[in-house]
Amino acid sequence: MSELTKEEEILKEIKDKFSDAVENSIIQRKSRIWIDLSENAKLDIMRYLKEKGYYHLSTITGFDEGEKLGAIYHITNHKIIINLRVRTPKENPILKSVLPVYPSATSYERELEDLFGIKIDGLPEGRNYPLPEGFPKGVHPLRKDVKLEELNKMLNEKCVKEE
Amino acid sequence: MSKMQIPLGPQHPALKEPENFMLVLDGEMIVDATVNLGYNHRGVEKAAENRNYIQDIYLIERICGICSHSHVSCYINAVEEIAKVEVPQRAKAIRTIVAELERIHSHLLWLGVAAFELGYDTLFMYTWRDREQVLDCLELLTGNRVHYGINTIGGVRRDITKEQADEILKKIKYLHERTSYYVGVVTEEPTFLARTQNVGKLPKDVALELNAVGPTARASGIEIDVRKDEPYFIYDQLDFKVITYHSEDVFGRAVVRVLEVIESIKIIEQILKNLPEGPISVKVGWKIGPGEAVFRYEAPRGEDIHYVKANGTEYPERVKVRAPTLANFQSLPYCLKNGYLADAVITIAAIDPCMSCTDRAVVYDIKKGKKEIFDWEELRKYSIEFYRKKGVKFS
Amino acid sequence: MKFKDKIILWSRLKSPWIIHFNTGACNGCDIEIVDALTPKYDIERFGILLKGTPRHADVMIVSGPLTRQQAKRFKRIYDQMPEPKFVLAVGTCACSGGVFDGCYNVIGGIDKVIPVSAYIPGCPVRPEAIIDAVVKLIKELEKSAK
């Protein structure tokens, strides 16, 4: 019996139940499962996993891969972390909010909107987080095409103009 | 009940800064609360991509001065996982000692700050004076009182000598006595109990739903602790308890923290009496990866999680940090609702937020139909005065 | 110097009132500043009082790198302080931006926006260094009074 029984079990269940949605999956090591899945099935898979005890959303990591943006949802039952990765095209990045399943996701989803410019469908109106008020609209600092020195220059010029 | 979006108050109409807390009052009770963040955003994640892995250690340390070792250890464990590095046992043991010393210092700091917010100045002075012993231990081991810089990729930078170990054991023994005294204060002092029991209630099911972490979750009876759930360093070889309490209130959070200090003292004693021999680090190249890793760590405030993606160069592709306070902020509005305005200060302090976050509050009174801005100091004085009139005051 | 001015200066020297401002720090320097109040270092024996409002303060101690969202508010609080006023940049971040220099939301050290009387480096600054700086400041005040 391999050491990774529990991980293999849960991965098999997901792949059996949502075979169309799972694009790629790997058990990286003990307690770490990585699944690339399609955005459409994301909420169903999350609901399924939450019932199975994966109730804790640790955080959501946004990323920029060039042509695509995306998010990794790190959910756990405190023993195993399942990392669910979804992607969305950069020309029109939209992801569905996971608030219906994980009500603690608000700040993490606002981060995706502010820092990557991914529109979160279903996120209620609210103050920006974490960027301050007055940060130029349409500039998303964590995107790869935003270079740090240019960003600093632009923000410094903007500050000078406001004085 | 629909939330009211209230624009900034009348005192400084030209001010464009965000308030952190927006409280809606009905008489003395808070009926709704919103928490807004983003006060302290510096841009660390972007900067981390432009610095190499070693430079990032010093950057990530300074995300928070109180739990700097936590952030670095979490980040470094993720990097070491990608680099497939086997860290020597002695290094892990030293990292654990510093981690537990940090937990003690953080909890004593919290106890002092909580005492100060309640108006209990003597307790504040006592705890911070005793906390100096911990800072002395840390300075002895690492050379600095805050921001220890002891971690490097592949191990630790300084070894521990027999004399240092003996000195730390002595100070720890003194701390054990002092903490037992604080346990007594927290659990028996009537004024402390009056201000913390049944305040800031967070029921277990709500805490689970909102994914609370750390002492906040453990005080609601949830037995989670990354040191036991996913042991790192040498925690799997150590004997210690996960402290939980059932009261779901600020009192429970205080009890959990004070008892955790005792557990941390026991952990340090176990390690120092049985320190593994061997090297303190292994050599790791400048270039890491490619690969990605996620790591969870039990910081004093709760679960800290870092994600690192490496692309084979000296610079990380992506570094993501989620500090524990952010997770607990999601539960804060629930804790504040249906409580008195006078309890707001200690309720917010009880989740142990970074001090710089708790700055200004806007209070909207439904009956009077007007809003005022309180700053933290005013709200604190109001709370102490409110309870003094009820007969609860600290001498 | 007029007699009334001498009395005012004497009271300032004997009991400088301080306001502490955090421009986006990691709290490392903040806890060392608060530490200076606690029994081991006890800055209150110099008559130094930590006050909440800028209108009564002689000295502003600032920790943290200057973040963009804090810059305006910081300048406004400085302007509210009555003359003569002194600013201590506490910690490497306040002196020059420290490790955060180059981050997109950090402008740099606090001297980008207001004049600084004394720079206290350190990451974080030690309580002894804070006391040393305040004592040096008091000596400077005495010298300028003569």
- Which residues of chain A are at the C interface, by a Cβ-Cβ cutoff of 8 Å? 131-135, 141, 148, 151-152, 155-156, 159
Domain count across chain A: 1
What is the rounded average pLDDT of the residues B202-225?
A: 94
Residues 33-52 of A with CB under 8 A from B: 34
Q: How far is C100 from chain B (nearest CA, A)?
A: 7
Q: What is the pLDDT of residue B355?
A: 47
Q: How far is A125 from chain C (nearest CA, A)?
A: 22
Q: What is the pLDDT of residue B374?
A: 66
Q: What are A12-22's pLDDT values in tens digits?
A: 999 999 989 99
Higher pLDDT, B375 or C128: C128
> Nearest by CB to C68, which of A141, A148, A159?
A159
- What domains are there in chain B, each with its CATH number? 48-323 (1.10.645.10)
What is the rounded average pLDDT of the residues B45-71?
A: 91
Q: Tokens at residue B172, please?
A: 């720890």
pLDDT above 80: residue B281: yes
Residue in A closest to C104 by C-alpha: A152
For chain A, give the secondary structure using H, E and C. Answer: CCCCHHHHHHHHHHHHHCCCCEEEEEEEECCEEEEEECHHHHHHHHHHHHHCCCCEEEEEEEEECCCEEEEEEEEECCCCEEEEEEEEECCCCEEECCCCCCHHHHHHHHHHHHHHCCEEECCCCCCCCCCCCCCCCCCCCCCCCCCHHHHHHHHHHHHHHHC
**Neighbour-count burial for A63-100, b at 16+ CB within 10 Å, e otherwise:** bbeeeebbbbbbbbbbebbbbbbbbbebeebebbbbee
Domain that holds residue A122: 5-162
pLDDT above 60: residue B125: yes
Q: What is the pLDDT of residue B262?
A: 96
Kindly determine whether residue B42 and residue C123, on different chains, have CB atoms separated by under 8 Å: no
What is the rounded average pLDDT of the residues B364-379?
A: 67
Placement of tokens 């805050």 in the chain: B146
What is the rounded average pLDDT of the residues B68-94?
A: 94
Q: What is the pLDDT of residue A159?
A: 67
Q: How far is C143 from chain B (nearest CA, A)?
A: 34
Lowest mean pLDDT among A140-149, B329-338, C39-48: C39-48
Q: How far is C95 from chain B (nearest CA, A)?
A: 16
Domain count across chain C: 1
pLDDT above 90: residue B27: no
Q: What Cα–Cα distance (Å) separates residue A124 from each residue in A39, A110, B3?
A: 20, 10, 11
Asked if the C-beta of A142 comes within 8 angstroms of chain B's C-beta atoms, the answer is yes
Q: What is the pLDDT of residue B5?
A: 31
Q: What is the pLDDT of residue B12?
A: 31
Residue in B closest to C108 by C-alpha: B42
What is the rounded average pLDDT of the residues B207-226?
A: 94
Q: What is the CATH classification number for the domain harbouring A137? A: 3.30.460.80
With bands split at pLDDT 50, 70 and 90, how would you rate the model's confidence at A69? very high
Q: What is the pLDDT of residue A140?
A: 92
Q: Tokens at residue B276, please?
A: 């593994």
Mutate to test the interface with B, among A7, A56, A155 (most CBs of B within 10 A): A56
Chains touching B by CB (3 or more pairs below 8 Å) = A, C
Domain that holds residue C25: 3-145
Residues 98-117 of C with CB under 8 A from A: 102, 104-105, 107
Mutate to test the interface with A, among B292, B298, B321 (most CBs of A within 10 A): B292
Q: Which of B343, B348, B369 is nearest to B360 (CA)?
A: B348
Q: Tokens at residue B154, please?
A: 């592949």
What is the rounded average pLDDT of the residues B27-49?
A: 82
> Nearest by CB to A132, which of C69, C102, C107?
C69
Q: What are B347-369's pLDDT values in tens digits?
A: 888 887 764 444 455 556 666 66
What is the rounded average pLDDT of the residues B15-35?
A: 72
Report the Cα A5 to chain-centroid distance in Å. Answer: 27
CA B130/CA B125 separation, integer angstroms: 9
**Neighbour-count burial for B18-35, b at 16+ CB within 10 Å, e otherwise:** bbbbbbbbeeeebebbbb
Kindly determine whether residue B147 and residue C123, on different chains, have CB atoms separated by under 8 Å: yes
CA B59/CA B178 separation, integer angstroms: 34
Mutate to test the interface with C, among B15, B40, B64, B107 (most CBs of C within 10 A): B40
Q: How far apart are the first and last CA of chain C?
A: 8
Q: What is the CATH classification number for the domain harbouring C72? A: 3.40.50.12280
Q: What is the pLDDT of residue B39?
A: 65
> Nearest by CB to B294, which of A79, A83, A125?
A83
Q: Tokens at residue C74, please?
A: 């910081």
Kindly determine whether residue B354 and residue C27, on different chains, have CB atoms separated by under 8 Å: yes
Asked if the C-beta of C53 comes within 8 angstroms of chain B's C-beta atoms, the answer is no
User: What phi, psi does C26 have (nearest 5°)?
Assistant: -85, 0
Q: Which of C57, C118, C73 is nearest to C91 (CA)?
A: C118
Task: Divide the 146 residues of chain C into consecutive groups of 10 and give the mean pLDDT of each group.
Answer: 71 74 80 80 74 77 85 85 87 91 88 91 90 82 71
Q: Which of B349, B326, B342 is nearest to B109 (CA)?
A: B349
Amino acid identity of C61?
I
Q: What are A21-51's pLDDT values in tens digits?
A: 999 999 999 999 999 999 999 999 999 999 9
Kindly determine whether residue C26 and residue B68, on different chains, have CB atoms separated by under 8 Å: yes
Placement of tokens 């940060």 in the chain: A135
* CB burial of residue B176 (10 Å; 0-12, 13-18, 19+): middle
